[in-house]
Amino acid sequence: YIHQEDYAEKLRPRTEEELRAIQEEEEREVADATAKHETAGMIAAEALEVLLQRCRPGASVAALCEQGDALVADGLRKMFPDKAWMLDRQVNASDFSTKFSGGDRVRVKANQLEVQEGEIGIGFP
């Protein structure tokens, strides 16, 4: 339900000054969101670099996942301390799905490591 006064306020013509202020606020919000995404991307890239060094034939996939989660969580806690409480939420196995269901029994196989010059990656058949 929308109150008629609220709707009328949204529809009223804006002055140039109001439009400029609205545009500046939107630009600030976009810049803030972009900066946060860039920071999160850097944290993820740093975690991936560490994990790729640990990813060897015979390594436990579950252990690598746990290490990756810990690296990302630590990075996020440092960059966004005011949001750290979100990282402490208990995650249930039913909250997500994954193709790895073998727990600690699943190991990295030599043919799953596909690192080519100039890129990083892990391939899964």
Amino acid identity of 64? L
Chain segment 64-99, per-residue pLDDT in tens: 888 988 898 899 888 888 877 777 665 555 555 455
pLDDT at 84 (0 to 100): 77
Q: What is the DSSP string of 51-79?
A: HHHH--TT-BHHHHHHHHHHHHHHHHHHH
Three-state DSSP at 84 gives helix
List the Cα angle 107/41/110 in 5-degree steps: 20
DSSP-H helix ranges across the chain: 4-11, 16-54, 61-79
Whole-prediction pTM:
0.59
25-73 residue pLDDT tens: 999 999 999 998 999 889 999 999 999 899 888 888 888 888 988 898 8
Output the pLDDT for position 35.
Answer: 92
pLDDT: is 29 or 112 the higher one?
29
